Structure 1
Amino acid sequence: MKPSTFSALAAVILLVVTQHASVAAGRGPRVIIVGAGMSGISAGKRLADAGVRDVLILEATGRVGGRMHKHNFGGINVEIGANWVEGVEGKKVNPIWPMVNATLNLRNFLSDFDSVVSNVYKEKREWDRADEVEELGGKLASQMDPSGRDDISILAMQRLFNHQPNGPTTPVDMALDYFRYDYEFAEPPRATSLQNTEPLPTAADFGEDNHFVADQRGFEAIIYHIARQYLSSDRKSGNIVDPRLKLNKVVREISYNRKGVVVRTEDNSAYSGDYVIVSTSLGVLQSDLIQFKPQLPAWKIIAIYRFDMAVYTKIFLKFPTKFWPVGEGKQFFVYASSRRGYYGMWQSFEKEYPGANVLMVTVTDQESRRIEQQPDNQTKAEAVAVLRKMFPDRHVPDATDIYVPRWWSDRFFKGSYSNWPIGVNRYEYDQLRAPVGRVFFTGEHTSEHYNGYVHGAYLAGMDSADILMNSIFNKVGFKVRPKDDHQIIAEAK
């Protein structure tokens, strides 16, 4: 017998033998959660609160936090992933904000994005027309069918209102358009849905203020805070020591049938359960890291591939001296290049980390992928060359250090966060969220209104846990909403 055949047979036998073990022992359902990022930890907390405590969390990396990740650079901890509490001071309370600002009291700073337009190098231009068009786009989106079938791209909306009908024509126009859209969604207007971004649900619900987290404990501290409410931790170090959390467990295969699941990891370990919640990124689902047996149905695979996994890269540079402007209204500055997104969005850390002499420049999409594939020394040279063009009358020294996160190249993430593209309506979105038998799915990409955000991941974890418990305890299956008014609601099976 071939080794591959033997392994497959062993998985089937293990699945059959253990499929009812937890129920027979009177412990209730056993749920395996793949991933210890925000959504996975949030789902586990929701299950624990409901009395489902036979939970096993398998995390591919050696840490808890997922795309919330601090990194020591130049003597300070910087956030290479999620960094802002986006959506504060609105009619609703962003659920992340009380944890950050009150419970944990993480250092955070209001980001002065209003001053960006006055710090464009080398030119300046008012963008009242862009504000007007964006408002018109929001009104147009509100008149569209709620299903999303009438949706258009942001670029199509700009053309409709005769705003840059052929796209931005000058470097300044391009830089400001980039700041307005790419800097938020990590993809250009031609790719991004109008109906699901105008108005942006996060801003409409939670407010337009954004708070930058700059705490040496890291933004990931909120995930540890949630995890410690149901997982055992060491009192001195704060590390999670609960045996229900297993780190460095790379899931490569999920076998499932009507009676249970078996999750197999790269080290040839196998874990059986009644249900599994997959909380990996959308990028991982779009890759071949995890094999599902049997293969996921066509409708599920198509839904997964219809959404975009965007790339948003924050590059950190340390200098021996400070040469950039500081003070009120000088937190952000923009480089207007003839090449869209070429080292365009710069941020000073003088307020957050005084004396650190660290700048952060953000790139996205194609520039992110290009930079990930080149040596860091080349990236450093390119970035410093841009700074010398921005400040020709100042001495700009060589950077002494650089850090380039590589989210796209990392097989455990394959990108930064999801973006809702044109051509996808709420029918496909429900398919993305929908379970397949005993396999359930969660993650920021499954948050209908807040995909791409930390609060989206947090709420999605709870939502997916509720979908699972409804299925277990109430025998209520997840319903996919109709594609249009003439279709019957179908249950995902």
Structure 2
Amino acid sequence: MASASSAPSVIVIGAGISGIAAAKTLHDAGVKDIVILEATSHVGGRMRKAEIGGHTVELGANWYLSGGPVPNPIAEIASKLNLKYTLTDNGNLSSNTYKQQGGLYPKEAVEAAQKATAARTDFCAKFSQALNSGAKEDDDISILAAHRLSGSLPETPLERVVEYMNDELTDGEPPELTSLKNVHPRTIGPDHGPLAHFVADPRGYEAIPQYVGEQFLSSINGDPRLQLNKVVREITYTENMVVVQTEDGSTYQANYVIISVSIGVLQSDLIQFKPQLPMWKRVAIADFSMAVYSKIFFQFPHKFWPTGPGTETFLYAHIQRGYYPVWQHLDNEIPGSNILMVTVTYDEAKRMEQLSDKELQAEAMGVLRKMFGEKIPEPESVLTHRWFSDRFYRGSHSNWPRGYSQDRHDKLGAAVGPVYFTGEHLHKKYFGWVSGAYLAGIDTAKSLLKSLEK
């Protein structure tokens, strides 16, 4: 174990965008005795690329927004890096929504479902503002409850898949689990803008946290302050000291620790705290939500789906909600790749994780053959990441559950002695988003710096 005199002042656990942003903020303020312990072999956390058929795709975070009145720091970094992207086109779903047994819904029927969904969303925003103006902590209700109050509920597979695209595809969990008061009105789009940039760069979205790291580390691969493949299993803390032990038997000592792991990992038994975190902190951790948002990629020998303007995204309306519902071809992002991507969330994503790639392929091909005919070819490659099963993440991003108060969220972010916490789940407006993760890392570091000043 390192002696107190040689120990870093701060240990940062996790080299995702939150941990890297926190470490850079400390470094820029003069706190240079830092060590970052990352459980995996890469910098970026849930910003993670992979290859299918020689093409780079994003297993985790994929989009960032721009064009709004509040600058998005992620968009600014992406611009500095000249990160390749396309603007996602979801504007023609009324002509690209398929029935369960095949065939397209009439455009007018889809537009009617979209209009009803938009009316419910507008009601949710106004009702949430009314709840917040009343300002009782226990006034929260679920988004589903607000839908009921609006007098309109989606009943048919078509209406449900349109609502899914509007709510669940963003939140990662269904409306009955999601807080109305803290999710509506949605702020990320009005703040950062309507332009949805789909990262399609061989360097991957992870180039952004790596760029941030390169601003203060001598090298992403060679600076001793960044240690990869270090799985933290135990954190022992006193009033003014922290000892961290990793799975390989290494021990690190510091005055402070910043924990940037996901809320899902905090809810698991991966990291043990000695002494146990106080009950108020454990309750705040246990009561927040970790969503599962999984993408599955299929590469085919040739295209069999519509291409051209207005065809990028298409929906499949199955009686079982969330059953392979949202598809996107990557012809715009990676021309000539012949790749389709389908997104599943929540229980369907967890169920999918129990299937083999072969079983996944069989289910998905059953859906595609309903949409495009029995003669379409089998894929040459299948790729996904099982986020819920991965012990280093235990999900894809956080979601604010119904009934979870602002006071409890403050406790979720509060330090316990020298133990500080950060991550996308701690940003009050942009939780679940990369910009929220980045800003939360900076905020946590600034909070720790105030303690150092004292």
TM-score range, shorter chain: over 0.9
Contact 1:311 1:416 in 2 (8 A): yes
1:109 counterpart (76, 81, 86) = 86
Q: RMSD of the TM alignment (CA)?
A: 1.4
Contact 2:284 2:412 in 1 (8 A): yes
Contact 1:117 1:176 (C-alpha < 8 Å) held by counterparts: no
Amino acid of the structure 2 residue aligned with 1:273? A
Q: Secondary structure at the match of 2:30?
A: coil
Query: How far is 1:438 from its partner?
Result: 0.3
Partner secondary structure for residue 360 of structure 1: strand
Q: Distance in 2 between matches of 1:156 and 1:330?
A: 34
Cα distance in 2, alignment partners of residues 438 and 63 from structure 1: 27
Q: Which runs of structure 2 are paired with 1:74-113 in the superposition (5 Å)?
A: 74-85=53-64, 87-100=65-78, 102-113=79-90
Q: Which runs of 5+ in 1 are unaligned?
A: 1-13, 24-28, 234-238, 476-493
Bigger radius of gyration, 1 or 2? 1
Among 272, 282, 304, the alignment partner of 1:323 is: 304
Q: CA deviation at 1:22?
A: 5.5
The letter of the residue matching 1:219 is Y
Q: Is the 8 A contact 2:17 2:438 kept in 1?
A: yes
Q: 2:381 aligns with which of 398, 401, 405?
A: 401
Whether the aligned pair in 2 keeps the contact of 1:58 and 1:246 (CA below 8 Å) is yes
Question: Which residue, out of 328, 332, 335, partners 1:347?
Answer: 328
Provide the rounded CA distance (Å) in 2 between the counterparts of 1:147 and 1:169: 32
Q: Could you tell me whether the CA contact under 8 Å between 1:22 and 1:30 is conserved in 2? A: no
Q: What SS class does the counterpart of residue 389 from structure 2 fall into?
A: coil
Counterparts of 1:226 and 1:466, CA distance in 2: 17
Count of residues in Structure 1 that have an aligned counterpart in Structure 2 = 442
Choose 202-211 or 417-426, whichever is displaced more: 202-211
Is the contact made by 1:119 and 1:330 (CA closer than 8 Å) also made in structure 2? yes
Residue of structure 2 equivalent to 1:162: 151
Match of 2:441 in 1: 461
What does residue 176 of structure 1 align with? 162
Partner of 1:428: 408
Residue 443 (structure 1) aligned to one of 403, 414, 423: 423
State the Cα deviation string for residues 172-212 of structure 1 (Å, max 9, x = none): 01111111111111100001111222121211211222110
Is residue 178–residue 401 contact of structure 2 (8 Å, CA) maintained in 1?
Answer: yes
1:130 CA displacement: 1.6
- SS of residue matched to 2:110: coil
Q: Give the counterpart of 2:319 among 338, 345, 349.
A: 338
Counterpart check, 1:60 vs 2:49: no
Alpha carbons 1:319, 1:401 under 8 Å: kept: yes
Corresponding residue number in structure 2 for 1:282 = 263
Distance 2:229 2:386 in 1: 19
- Contact residue 323 and residue 395 of structure 1 kept, 8 A: no
Normalised TM-score (structure 1)? 0.88
Whichever residue aligns with residue 130 of structure 1, its letter is T
The question of whether the paired residues in 2 share the 8 Å contact of 1:148 and 1:195 is answered with no
Residues 370-399 of structure 1 show CA distances to partners (whole Å, capped at 9, x for unaligned) of 11111110100110110010123x731111
Residues in 1 aligned to 2:366 and 2:93: alpha-carbon distance in whole angstroms? 21
Residue 292 of structure 1 aligns to a residue in which SS?
Answer: strand
Letter in 1 for 2:238: N
TM-score, normalised to structure 2, is 0.95
SS at match of 2:75: helix
CA displacement at 1:147 relative to structure 2: 6.2
Does the residue aligned with 2:180 lie in a helix, a strand or coil?
Answer: coil
| C-alpha distance in structure 2 between counterparts of 1:147 and 1:66, whole Å | 36
Partners of 1:418 and 1:300 in 2: how far apart? 17
State the one-letter code of the partner of 1:120: T
Q: 193, 211, 214: which one pairs with 1:225?
A: 211
* Aligned-partner Cα distance in 2 for 1:273–1:404: 38
Identity %: 50
Q: Is the 8 A contact 1:372 1:404 kept in 2?
A: no
Unaligned 5+ segments in structure 2 are 100-104
Match of 2:102 in 1: none
1:249 to 222, 226, 230: 230
Tell me the CA shift for residue 259 of structure 1. Answer: 2.1
How far apart are 1:148 and its partner, in Å?
A: 4.7
Matches of 2:359 and 2:248 in 1, distance apart?
A: 37
Contact 1:31–1:274 under 8 Å retained in 2: yes
Aligned to 2:396: 416
The 5 A counterparts of 1:104-253 are 104-122=81-99, 123=105, 124-126=109-111, 127-145=114-132, 146=135, 148-164=137-153, 168-233=154-219, 239-253=220-234
Kept after mapping to 2: 8 A contact 1:147/1:425 = no
**Aligned partner of 1:180: which letter?**
N
Is contact 2:260-2:423 (8 Å) kept?
yes
Classify the secondary structure of the residue corresponding to 1:227. Answer: helix
* Structure with the larger RCO, 1 or 2 (CA within 8 Å, 6+ apart): 2
Contact 2:117 2:162 in 1 (8 A): no
**Alignment partner of 1:41: what SS?**
helix
How big is the shift at 1:132? 1.6
